[in-house]
Amino acid sequence: MRKLLLLIGLAVSALLLTQCRSGRAAKTQRHLNYVSDIQPLVANKCTPCHIPDKGGKVEALNTYTSVKSHIDDIIRRIELNPGEKGYMPFKKPKLSDSAINVFKQWKTDGMLENAD
Ligand code: HEC
């Protein structure tokens, strides 16, 4: 009886372990990229000010190169709170945690331009 319980215990742990593994693998499968993840967010949240086509007059953030070269400043500014010096998006509500995480994850993933 003891042995049987031990076996069942082992089987259950093995099952849980494999499920954890596959869950983690699924999460890290896709790397964020500029075209699918960053550009739509900037176009939506940083317009019109940073989009020259829309009449933006400050630093253009409408290209892969410009966003990439400003990524640290972007992350720093969007993590500030409204009213703090340098806060972005200027005079607009703070981005959601998930939107902020998209910028951070994109940086972690190596700032790809297109889907890999
Ligand atoms: C309503 C207009 C407006 C919006 C919307 C806005 N910004 Fe800005 N942004 C400004 C202004 C004005 C400045 C210049 C003043 C300053 O540096 O704080 C600026 C400066 C910046 C800079 C520094 C650029 C440089 O010259 O080095 C960054 C980076 C930036 N914004 C990021 C963002 C991001 C990311 C968003 C969207 C999430 C955003 N901003 C939305 C108006 C805006």
How many CB atoms lie under 10 A from the CB of residue 7? 10
Supply the residue whose CA is at minimum distance from atom 37 of ligand 1: 46
Picking from 54, 55, 58, the residue whose alpha carbon sits closest to that of residue 89 is 58
The pLDDT value recorded for residue 102 is 98
The Å distance, Cα 73 to ligand 1 centre, comes to 10
Residues 29-86: pLDDT tens digits? 799 999 999 999 999 999 999 999 999 999 999 999 999 999 999 999 999 999 999 9
Mean of the per-residue pLDDT values for the chain? Answer: 88
**Pocket lining: 49 vs ligand 1, CB cutoff 6 Å:** yes
Average pLDDT over every residue of 89-112: 98
The Å distance, Cα 58 to ligand 1 centre, comes to 7
114, 94, 90, 39: CA torsion to nearest 10 = 10
Average pLDDT over every residue of 5-28: 56
The Å distance, Cα 75 to ligand 1 centre, comes to 11
The pLDDT value recorded for residue 116 is 76
